[in-house]
Structure 1
Amino acid sequence: MDIKEARKQIDGIDAQLVELFEQRLSIIKFIGKFKDEHHLPLIDEDRDQEIISSLKTNSEDPRMLTYIESYMKDVISISNEFLKEHMHKHIFLIGMPGAGKTTVGKVLAKELGRDFYDLDQTIQDKVGKSVQNIFIYDGKDAFSEYEYETIKELIYNKPSVIATGGGTVTSEKIVNLMRNNGLVVFVNRDVNHILDDLDLEIRPLVKESIEYIFNVYEERYPLYEQVAHIKIGNEGSITDAVQEIIEALPNTEK
């Protein structure tokens, strides 16, 4: 076989791959519709790993395993992105405490005809302890696990609006869970405005508290931007903030 013949065979194989991938995406579209109707999570990571593992065993040349795994990961990643475009998704609101996530979330949910969940409140109801007591008696890691398990339960509901805690984005596995099963919206508010509102509730704010809030804001701001699919400002009216989110949503979510 010369190089022309080799290239001809590759062209034929590529044509078959395209045809088969189109068939795969058509089936993915059906799966998306089924998941929508039955309120199933968008991405099933265990199923994805099973696909990769099972296909690796079909390889006749062990030297090809790494390449087969890499190829299948790309196929699954593209398929999952296609799936996201054909399903309604949960909307997760992230941002600093005091940014207005709960207030915005309630109005947004009403406008979209969806249920609303405040993650902290849902955890408190589930565990029977306040967030503060969970941190004091169970610890930060335990609270993070409560967040993860609660979101895992919520994503089995019909698409909803979920306002998360200020530190939810510090957990990589929670971030992956949110991004794989919904749209993440960063509700941003100037830290000085947050402090103004806090000052009305907790007088007087000590210097250490002010410095702590500024430090948290500076630390988390890049993380909020990195995690979010959409970023909106909440400096004006709640109506304006909600409208900005709706305008930024994909058409499938409106």
Structure 2
Amino acid sequence: MDPLHSLQDEIKYPLIEEPQILTNICTMYFDLNCVSCVRNSEFWISGQNKTMMLYNLQGNRPRSVQTKSGEIPYDIATTHSGDLVYTDYEDRTINILRNDQIQSLVTLQEPWRPYSVCITSSGDLLVTMRMDNKTHKKIVRFSDSKEKQNIPWDEPQQYFLRVIGVFSAEGTLQHRYTGGKPLINGPFHPVGITTDSHCQILAAESFENRIHILDKDCRFLRYIECVGLIEPFGLDVDYRDNLIVTEWKRGNVKQIRYYK
């Protein structure tokens, strides 16, 4: 039996055979590398400028905000209460937009800089960090501005950007994923990553124009390779478990249905 088919047969929430693009929004903002959904049908996006923009699925932009430092936000996330969090790599800060005011939650000391950020199910912040010389990396858990957990992850630099790791709550690396079928454009290089309400992992592989779907143990399930999906980068899922994905160079945001 095909191990892939046998694995998909075990899935409680089946995937549709051909994922469908439900919405395509042209933002006219290029180099879009981050997206974060709010609880309703709105989402924040950011790219290679200092402005973070709030859109809805009708293509309207009700709001935009600039970073406090004037630098480019490295990553964005949205708290359970709907507040926007972003990391400022150049400024070494983790910030939150709350009541129309940007507040600095954490300022890192040299040589550490923050880059990726996400919100856990409990509401904590998980922030990946690296040293200025990129020799050491770690994942830090914060409750508001208080550090709760520090997880070193010192993969060699050439492998760090080519692997997806699943950690336990205690900080133990449990599973790894280094790519699916043979690659056309070089080694596996995931960019945006998110999880859905069924604990499945979605990872964008921009140069291959596809998105990997994995189970919670990093076992490959299938690809999303929609016609017209070009350079997917930032990923998140909305409240209906539809995928929201930015197209890096084109400046588009697509909503994709992948569950039956």
- TM-score above 0.5, yes or no: no
**Higher strand share goes to which structure?**
2
* Structure with bigger RCO (C-alpha 8 Å, 6+ apart): 1
TM-score by length of 2: 0.24
TM-score by length of 1: 0.24
